Structure 1
Amino acid sequence: MCRWLAYSGSPMLLDAVLYRPEHSLINQSLRARMGVESINGDGFGLGWYSTEGDGTPAVFRDIGPAWNNRNLMELAAHVRSRLFFAHVRASTGSAIQQTNCHPFRHGRWLWMHNGAIADFPRLQRDLCMAVDPALFPSIEGSTDSEVMFYLAVTFGLDQDVPGAVARMAGLVERLGKEHGVENPLQMTIAVSDGERVWAFRYSSQGKSRSLFYSSKAEMVRQLHPDLDFLREASDETRLVVSEPLGDLHGVWNELPEGSYAVVPSGASADYFPFVPEIHPGDPLVTAGAWRG
């Protein structure tokens, strides 16, 4: 599996989050504590939004391990962003190549995933047939994660993020059952349009991979006034991570099984229930029929 983080808040140098914390993502690429694998060295990727440009994110991905990549260290020390993704990969069987490294990008959207579709080769053809034909040429790699992304785009990501992800998950589960695949879906997903981050935690078995979100910056400052990098952070600054970046009391909250979070949420609740959705029309009748 993999480890990832999503940051949203005041513009910050990437290395403040990627390298400096006690149990940073770079540290996790070598010594993950909660992942299926302790080493995540099958590639890495960054995706970030700039305050300039057309609103589409930049992406930097490579096939080597993150812990010894000098270009990554150089870039992280000089790029400042208000919203960025970072991912370190442990392949579940697909090739180690740049096009299989996360995050994936389509237009203004970024997507990254930890988990797997069980017996993906058995389901791959049917899943790909449900992708909008106009989107299919954009799939560059061979991972289940990228197919999941383009299914979500097909099913209306632009109009309704939770609904599109729920319909994608519902299709995977239906096809899994048809092909005799027990517990077909395992996922923690982050997706962003450059304004907000949505994070999902779900598995068919009800035993999802770990996922945590940080408490509001104001609360963290009160608990830990010595954290330099949060002194100028806005109250809306939040992190969503596969595993905590340190052992600081009151900072990390586990996202419950079968739920999703939105950052910034604009709501009183930190998270909401997530349930896969089976669309009455069924997407395999006409590929792309769910698009808004």
Structure 2
Amino acid sequence: MCRWLAYSGTPILLDSILYRPVHSLIDQSLHARMGVETTNGDGFGVGWYAPDKDSPAVVRDIGPAWSDRNLREIAGHVVSPLFFAHIRASTGTAVQQTNCHPFRYGRWMWMHNGAVAEFHLLRRDLALRVAPHLFPNVEGSTDSEMMFYLSLTLGLEEDPPGAVARMAGLVERVGHEHGVEFPLQMTVAVTDGARLWAFRYSTQQQSRSLFYSSRVETLRSLHPDLEFLREISGDARLIVSEPLGDLPGAWNAVPEGTCGVVQPEGDRMAGFAPAAG
């Protein structure tokens, strides 16, 4: 599978999250503890938002993240209030740039850990459900990108939770039509640059791991000696496939079947289930 993280909050250097933590995403590319694979070396990607830009910047490549000098250079110079990072372990599709996450459409970014089971059997039927005006934007061959464009087709830009629920319902229905017992496994992050949504769901109700960071004021009270916590605002939040370290009280598991949103008016978490799509 894959590992990913999403950050929203005070503008920070990408390096402070990607490289500096004890169990950073770069460390996870070699030594993942909670993923299906220990090594995630089939490519990587980062995407971030900059002031006065309508769409995010996205950099992706097919090599392993742990040895990429360009990624290290970018991380040491880019500052952003909202960014995605993803390390890939292919579930069968080709190792190529167009298959690396995050995926972008306009101001939207999307990344995924998991799989559509037997995707090669479902792919044609799912592709035919992508809106004609969106289909030319599908560049790669992954189930993850297909899920993104299905969600866009089903109303992601107006109603992200509803669109992802309809996408999940469609994937499950098509999967069952092809005799696939448990069609969907997903932890997904999606953002429009202002809000960040995260989803944890699987047909079998045994979803891949997902965690969110505790509120900054809670961490400050638990760890008053950490200078980093004094530099970020109270609304800063991380969502990760697995914790970036063992700091007590820092990480909380996202419950099975959950949708959460990080937004200026306050974070929210609710149950998530597929819907008719």
Shift of 1:264: 2.5
Q: Could you tell me which amino acid in structure 2 is paired with residue 67 of structure 1? A: W
Contact 1:41 1:88 in 2 (8 A): yes
Q: Could you tell me which amino acid in structure 1 is paired with residue 203 of structure 2? A: S
* Map of 1:284 onto structure 2: none
- Identity among equivalent positions (%) equals 68
Q: How many residues align?
A: 277
Once the two structures are superposed, residues 148-174 of structure 1 have per-residue CA deviations (whole angstroms, 9 ceiling, x without a partner) of: 000000000111000000000000000
* Map of 1:277 onto structure 2: 275
Shift of 1:223: 1.1
Contact 1:255 1:271 in 2 (8 A): no
* Map of 2:209 onto structure 1: 210
* Map of 1:289 onto structure 2: none
CA distance in 2, matches of 1:223, 1:9: 20
**Any stretches of 5+ residues in structure 2 without a counterpart?**
none
Shift of 1:226: 2.8
Q: Could you tell me which amino acid in structure 2 is paired with residue 87 of structure 1? A: H
The two structures, once aligned, show a CA RMSD in angstroms of 1.0
* Map of 1:37 onto structure 2: 37
* Map of 1:123 onto structure 2: 122
Once the two structures are superposed, residues 47-70 of structure 1 have per-residue CA deviations (whole angstroms, 9 ceiling, x without a partner) of: 0000132x2000000000000111
Range that drifts further, 39-48 or 227-236? 227-236
**Is 1:254 aligned with 2:253?**
yes
Range that drifts further, 214-223 or 117-126? 214-223
CA distance in 1, matches of 2:264, 2:8: 11
Once the two structures are superposed, residues 191-220 of structure 1 have per-residue CA deviations (whole angstroms, 9 ceiling, x without a partner) of: 000001100000000000000000111111
CA distance in 1, matches of 2:228, 2:114: 31
* Map of 2:151 onto structure 1: 152
CA distance in 2, matches of 1:183, 1:226: 47
CA distance in 2, matches of 1:230, 1:209: 28
After TM superposition, the score normalised by the length of structure 1 is 0.93
- Give 1:183-194 correspondences, 5 Å limit: 183-194=182-193
Shift of 1:266: 3.1
After TM superposition, the score normalised by the length of structure 2 is 0.98
CA distance in 1, matches of 2:14, 2:252: 22
**Is 1:18 aligned with 2:45?**
no
Q: Could you tell me which amino acid in structure 2 is paired with residue 27 of structure 1? A: D
Range that drifts further, 101-110 or 220-229? 220-229
Once the two structures are superposed, residues 53-107 of structure 1 have per-residue CA deviations (whole angstroms, 9 ceiling, x without a partner) of: 2x20000000000001111011101000000000000000000000000000000
Q: Could you tell me which amino acid in structure 1 is paired with residue 49 of structure 2? A: Y
